[in-house]
Amino acid sequence: MAETPLRARPALDGYNRTVGAVALAEVSGLALVSAAVPQGGDEAFAAALAEGLGASRPATGDSTAGDRHMARILGMQPDQLFILFESPDPDRPAESVLAALGGAAYVTDQTDSWAMLRIAGAGVRSALERICMLDLADEAFPEGRVARTVMEHLAVIILRDGADSFLLMSPRSSARSFLHAVELSVLNLSE
Amino acid sequence: MIIDHPLLGPRDAQEFAILGDASLIDRPDWQAEDAAKLFHDYLHLRDNPAGEHRELWFHEQGDRSWLVVTRSTLTHEVLKVELARDVAIARGRDR
């Protein structure tokens, strides 16, 4: 019987394009795991986060950096955080987080559910202001700030990961439509 | 309409879904003697003043929190925004 090896493909086939002052590229290889804090387990969770990932707990809407696995902890909602990191075991990212947190949170692997795009460059805010309702000015949305919102009717998590750089995550099932929306906004700038 | 979220700051109303009157937080005791009447009132009876309303809003396209929004139906002004969890705890609920 013929060998038919299965290979994982990134959601947007490694899309990478620069138009004018904006670079738009898919980010792949990062693991994403959600962590829900049990009721009354705040202290245990904070201790486990410091011990296992070297990070402090961010407030909702903020993020903190861990000192292991390039981890970034995103405060998504009260009692729920997303952990973005380079998994030592790419096939089992949730297990890695479970090992690091020792059961202080309920964890769920989100890795392949979200397509990730990084949009960066001097024109990044001009490109985003056409599709994003949030105020992305320095005072309102400084580096490290994170939010769940909608762009072109699609759910998006937006993280400011640099002075002129944003990481966008949108559900993989509609990733092509999301890419189209963002790409079109970037192209509109150059006309 | 802009809702000034207590944790996240001002957000556009299109990120939210409305459930209804904030009195839904005060669910009656199902074991009470007159539970049938209490639930009838809880489900069906609402004040509908022209003016100030307290309503439950869900930040569906955001941090998924429930809010109690006080707003005026005459001016569309949003007067107060609280986390529903804080309101419920203040009214003696455990969460």
Residues A106 and A117 in one domain: no
Residue A22's pLDDT band (boundaries 50, 70, 90)? very high
The partner residue sitting opposite B95, judged by closest CB among A39, A77, A140, is A39
Q: Find the CATH number of the domain harbouring B12.
A: 3.30.2270.10
Residues A55 and A103 in one domain: yes
Residues A120 and A101 in one domain: no
SS3 for A33? strand
Q: Which of A112, A146, A178 is the last residue of a domain?
A: A112
User: CB-based contact (8 Å) between A74 and chain B?
Assistant: no
Cα–Cα dist A143/B38, whole Å: 51
Provide the token pair at A134.
Answer: 């949030």
Give the structural domain span for B53. Answer: 2-90
Kindly report, residue by residue over B71-90, the tens digit of the pLDDT.
999 999 999 999 999 999 99
Using a CB-CB cut-off of 8 Å, the residues of chain A touching B14 are 133, 150
* Domain count within chain B: 1
Q: Which of A88, A112, A136 is the last residue of a domain?
A: A112
Beta carbons of A123 and A22 less than 8 angstroms apart? yes
Q: Is residue B7 part of a domain?
A: yes
Q: Which of A112, A145, A167 is the last residue of a domain?
A: A112
B83: closest chain A residue by CA: A78
Q: In one letter, which amino acid is A191?
A: E
Q: Find the CATH number of the domain harbouring A51.
A: 3.30.70.1520
Q: Is residue A49 part of a domain?
A: yes
Provide the token pair at A158.
Answer: 């937006």
Q: Is residue A2 part of a domain?
A: no
Residues A21 and A47 in one domain: no
Residue A93: closest CA among A79, A83, A102, A103: A83
Inter-chain touch B7–A78, beta carbons under 8 Å: yes
As a whole-number percent, the residues of chain A with pLDDT over 90 amount to 80
State the average pLDDT over residues A93-113: 91
Residues A142 and A161 in one domain: yes
Inter-chain touch A78–B15, beta carbons under 8 Å: no
Sheet holding B17-21, edge to edge: B17-21, B52-58, B66-72, B78-83
Give the structural domain span for A172. Answer: 16-28+113-189
Name residue B2's beta-bridge partners.
B12
State the average pLDDT over residues A164-177: 97
User: CB-based contact (8 Å) between B94 and chain A?
Assistant: no
User: CB-based contact (8 Å) between B65 and chain A?
Assistant: yes
Q: Is residue B38 part of a domain?
A: yes
Beta carbons of A49 and A34 less than 8 angstroms apart? no
Residue A47's pLDDT band (boundaries 50, 70, 90)? very high
> Residue B8: is its pLDDT beyond 90?
yes
